[in-house]
Amino acid sequence: MTLKDKIYEGLKKVDDPEIKKNLVELNMIGDVAIEGRNVVVNVTLTTIGCPLKNTMSEDIKKELTKLEEIDHVEVVFGEMTDEQKQKLVQQLQGKKETKDPFKDTKVIAIGSGKGGVGKSTVTANLAVELSQMGYEVGLIDADILGHSIPQILGIKDKKPMVVNGGMMLPVDVNGVKVISMGNLVDKDEALIWRGPVLGGILTQFFNDVYWGDLDYMLIDLPPGTGDVPLSLMQQLPDAEILIVTTPQITAADVAKRLGFMASKTNSKVIGIIENMSYFICDNCDEKHYIFGKKEGRKLSEELNAPLLGEIPLSTLIREDGDKGVPSVLDDRLNMKDKYREIATNLLRTE
């Protein structure tokens, strides 16, 4: 094997941190110049402002200095031409079934009867915990008008990268690939959009975002049984529905409607999560059932779907949401164990 071949073999071990495919496969390697024991590698990026280019440079250097013939590696970055970007988009899109964007992915749409029950908080934490368990996880914030995922995951200031040709790369946070309207446009701008436009945006989130190979795609639905949940169940008939409710009778009652809607569109309700189930005060270890008791269990029996877990009401969870830290990563709480249990119960439903 020539030294150049060895260098290319090394470069095949370096992934683009966002696309998660190796630089050679992505045609991102330009000239490779060898002078004595020094090598200069030219890498063409989709955008020269790529925030992860230092990581890429370090990874290349680490890999190539493993070769005994090489002492020093220089990485020079350039930007792809429009034609190269177009080709890359085609290459990435080419791997995807257009009819079913999530052919080998388990799609779980998370809904609630009414707003404010903590659906987005639960979705974000479940996504991070599944990723911690080693799964490839995507998260679409389909609550386009009331998006809160960017706040909960601390990515309000992040923008998905748009590659020429209209393909977007999701924001990667805590191992989860996220797309939310909150990262794309101003909240007030989105408020003028109505049903059909919203449905169109979802379709774009499915088809025009490079998701790669995912094990799980979680979709945070807007509350209730409006246009978006309905259009989603029609567009992705294999998507399963997970319902988040609180122990309040009214919350569980309206959540039931979502269950009935799912049965009308032949979507399976995969389980129920009861949030804000109880409160443990600082002065005693007793559980206080502030919003009532057992409504989640009752809903699970009525919809014939398992109760996957109960999450307490906690000031720390609210604080985490305000700070943009998922509670599963907060050592002050035992939420990691709670969500691990929920995720394990979820996996059992398969």
- Binding residue positions for ATP: 113-120
Minimum Å gap between C-beta 116 and ligand ATP is: 5
197: number of Cβ within 10 Å: 11
Sequence-separated (6 or more) residues with CB below 8 Å from residue 95: none
Q: Does 116 bind ligand ATP (CB under 6 A)?
A: yes
Q: Looking at residue 106, what DSSP letter applies?
A: E
How far, in Å, CA of 64 to CA of 34, rounded? 12
Q: Does 276 bind ligand ATP (CB under 6 A)?
A: yes
How far, in Å, CA of 141 to CA of 179, rounded? 6
Minimum Å gap between C-beta 298 and ligand ATP is: 19
Q: Does 119 bind ligand ATP (CB under 6 A)?
A: yes
Q: Is 42 helix (H, G, I), strand (E, B) or coil?
A: strand
Q: Are 334 and 316 in contact (CB under 8 A)?
A: no
Q: Looking at residue 239, what DSSP letter applies?
A: -
Minimum Å gap between C-beta 85 and ligand ATP is: 35
Sequence-separated (6 or more) residues with CB below 8 Å from residue 282: none
Minimum Å gap between C-beta 220 and ligand ATP is: 7
Count the residues of the shown chain that bind ligand ATP, applying the rule CB under 6 A: 20
Name residue 279's beta-bridge partners. Answer: 288, 313
282 φ, ψ to 5°?
-65, -30
Q: Does 115 bind ligand ATP (CB under 6 A)?
A: yes
How far, in Å, CA of 140 to CA of 119, rounded? 13
Q: Looking at residue 230, what DSSP letter applies?
A: H
Cβ closer to ligand ATP: 144 or 167? 144
Cβ closer to ligand ATP: 148 or 231? 148
Minimum Å gap between C-beta 199 and ligand ATP is: 18
Cβ closer to ligand ATP: 10 or 224? 224
Q: Binding residue for ligand ATP (CB under 6 A) from 20, 34, 93, 146? A: 146
Cβ closer to ligand ATP: 163 or 251? 251
Q: Does 321 bind ligand ATP (CB under 6 A)?
A: yes
Q: Are 209 and 179 in contact (CB under 8 A)?
A: yes
Sequence-separated (6 or more) residues with CB below 8 Å from residue 209: 160, 167, 168, 169, 170, 179
Minimum Å gap between C-beta 195 and ligand ATP is: 17
Name residue 217's beta-bridge partners. Answer: 107, 138
Q: Are 26 and 13 in contact (CB under 8 A)?
A: no
Q: Binding residue for ligand ATP (CB under 6 A) from 14, 311, 328, 343? A: 311
Q: Does 165 bind ligand ATP (CB under 6 A)?
A: no
Stretch that binds ligand ATP, among 46-54, 141-149, 155-163, 178-186 (CB under 6 A): 141-149
Which residues in the 95-114 window bind ligand ATP by CB under 6 A? 112
Stretch that binds ligand ATP, among 143-151, 162-170, 185-193, 280-288 (CB under 6 A): 143-151
In this structure, what token pair is assigned to residue 168?
Answer: 């977007």
Minimum Å gap between C-beta 275 and ligand ATP is: 5
Q: Binding residue for ligand ATP (CB under 6 A) from 140, 313, 342, 343? A: 313
Mark residue 95 as left, alpha or beta (left: phi above 0; alpha: psi -120 to 50; beta: remaining).
alpha
> Where do contacts with ligand ATP occur on this chain (CB under 6 A)?
112, 115-121, 143, 146, 148, 223, 275-276, 311, 313-314, 317-318, 321
